[in-house]
């Protein structure tokens, strides 16, 4: 192969890399690494978490499965940390909780793969994670859930569609998201971090219900 053909091959490779887009999906058709299923749900403040990679060679964990006490952190592997923050009251019967999977050293998550990586998953209380959801005793339903995939240079690689990550349960929710790039090797993207913010509705506090009742009574009197 002469120098010109080498340059052409390299240019074609760069073009292929640039045209590959990261896409979030629900993992349909990808086999589970763990058959734990959903298991029993509780309100003890614990949740199961994991992250895994898949390719033509099969699949393997890159972190977990482990159980985290929420709010808190757990080391899923020597270089992969999961953190879930406390719930924040947004008002109006809404709360928000944020969680992050991140490479501590800044190295790409997919570096441990024995071959090309076609899919990367982040899981909370689902098939490849310990079967326990993230709980809140006041939980009603998830309102929104938006995620961001970040590179080793802290650049934004992609955002996940609203609501794809979460599944409502009784008293809490589980989470599952897969990423691929149309069959392209995900190692080229240098993925370092996945972060997601979940907003959910809660049962109003008794005091707020009383205030709502008084407000309604006052409005009715004004209409009279």
CB under 8 Å to 49, separation ≥6 — which residues?
63, 64, 65, 66, 67, 68, 74, 76, 82, 101, 123, 124, 125, 129, 130
The per-residue pLDDT for range 64-102, each reduced to its tens digit, is: 888 888 899 999 999 999 999 999 999 999 999 999 999
pLDDT value, residue 96: 95
pLDDT value, residue 204: 85
Asked if the structure places residue 131 within a domain, the reply is: yes
CB-hemisphere CA count at 13 Å for 36? 22
H/E run at residue 151? strand 139-151
Mapped onto helix, strand or coil, the DSSP state of residue 103 is strand
- Residue among 81, 62, 82 at smallest CA distance from 175: 82
The per-residue pLDDT for range 6-36, each reduced to its tens digit, is: 332 223 343 344 458 999 998 888 877 864 4
pLDDT value, residue 214: 40
Asked if the structure places residue 56 within a domain, the reply is: yes
Asked if the structure places residue 7 within a domain, the reply is: no
Asked if the structure places residue 13 within a domain, the reply is: no
Phi-psi region for residue 116, left (φ > 0), alpha (ψ -120 to 50) or beta? beta
Residue 2 has pLDDT above 50, yes or no: no
User: Omega into 65 within 30° of 0, i.e. cis?
Assistant: yes
pLDDT value, residue 32: 79
- Compute the mean pLDDT over every residue in the chain, rounded to the nearest whole number: 81
Asked if the structure places residue 115 within a domain, the reply is: yes
pLDDT value, residue 131: 66
Asked if the structure places residue 11 within a domain, the reply is: no
pLDDT value, residue 14: 35
pLDDT value, residue 3: 33
- Residue among 199, 172, 196 at smallest CA distance from 100: 196
- Residue among 13, 49, 27 at smallest CA distance from 134: 49
CB under 8 Å to 105, separation ≥6 — which residues?
79
pLDDT value, residue 127: 72
- Its pTM stands at 0.80
- Residue among 107, 117, 114, 106 at smallest CA distance from 179: 117
Asked if the structure places residue 187 within a domain, the reply is: yes
**How many domains is the chain built from?**
1
- Give the mean pLDDT of 120-126: 91
Phi-psi region for residue 99, left (φ > 0), alpha (ψ -120 to 50) or beta? beta
Residue 129 has pLDDT above 90, yes or no: no
User: Omega into 71 within 30° of 0, i.e. cis?
Assistant: yes
- Domain containing 69: what range? 20-223
Residue 213 has pLDDT above 80, yes or no: no
Asked if the structure places residue 1 within a domain, the reply is: no
Taken as a whole, the chain contains a residue count of: 224
The more confidently predicted of residues 175 and 9 is: 175
With tokens 């205030």, the residue in question is: 211
Distances in Å between the Cα of 183 and the Cα atoms of 20, 38, 51, 139 are: 9, 29, 19, 38
């Amino acid at each position: 192969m002469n120098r010109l053909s080498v340059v052409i091959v390299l240019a074609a490779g760069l073009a292929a890399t640039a045209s590959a887009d990261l896409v979030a999906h629900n993992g349909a058709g990808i086999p589970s690494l763990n058959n734990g299923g959903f298991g029993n749900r509780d309100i003890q403040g614990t949740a199961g978490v994991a992250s895994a990679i898949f390719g033509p060679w099969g699949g393997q964990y890159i972190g977990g499965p482990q159980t985290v006490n929420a709010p808190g952190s757990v080391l899923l592997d020597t270089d992969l940390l999961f953190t879930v923050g406390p719930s924040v009251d947004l008002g109006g019967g809404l709360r928000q909780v944020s969680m992050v999977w991140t490479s501590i050293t800044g190295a790409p998550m997919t570096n441990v793969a024995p071959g090309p990586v076609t899919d990367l998953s982040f899981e909370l209380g689902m098939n490849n994670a310990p079967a326990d959801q993230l709980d809140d005793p006041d939980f009603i339903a998830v309102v929104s859930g938006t995620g961001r995939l970040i590179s080793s240079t802290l650049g934004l690689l992609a955002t996940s569609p609203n609501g794809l990550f979460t599944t409502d349960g009784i008293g809490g929710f589980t989470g599952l998201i897969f990423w691929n790039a149309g069959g392209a090797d995900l190692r080229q993207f240098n993925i370092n971090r996945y972060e997601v913010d979940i907003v959910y509705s809660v049962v109003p506090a008794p005091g707020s219900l009383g205030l709502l009742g008084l407000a309604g009574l006052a409005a009715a009197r004004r209409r009279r």
